[in-house]
Amino acid sequence: QVQLVESGGGLVHPGGALGLSCAASGFPIDQYTIRWYRQPPGSQREFVAAIVSSGEPTYDDAVKGRFSISRDNSKNTVDLQMNNLKPEDTAVYYCNVFVDKFYWGQGTQVTVSS
């Protein structure tokens, strides 16, 4: 059974850093593309970053140079390191994978505020 569980959210000041983790089960993460999305308050869900089976990352322009996506095959987790956070990064962050259909985690809240 495919399952995704996000963790690591919290409250951080502008300019701070936070690391999120997506723990996957029911499939091997190194054979699928894992994506991070976020949903800001009152807005639609938007793409943040992805890592494909080869390990190559892609980023939305809004986070390029500040966020880094990585994969730990031994733990079956995909991490999102977020640096130089801005108030506009405030959102619920979700990880996503397409296996036989799209699966989403429950999300983790990130709040960037002074």
The CA dihedral of 9, 15, 16, 21, to the nearest 10 degrees, is: 40
Strands 67-72 and 57-59 turn out to be unpaired
Which pLDDT value is given to residue 90?
98
CA–CA distance, 15 with 100 (Å, rounded to integer): 39
Strands 3-7 and 91-98 turn out to be unpaired
2: nearest Cα among 105, 93, 107: 105
What are the tens digits of pLDDT across the range 13-62? 999 999 999 999 999 999 999 999 999 999 999 999 999 999 999 999 99
pLDDT band at 5 (very low <50, low <70, confident <90, very high): very high
Average pLDDT, the chain: 97
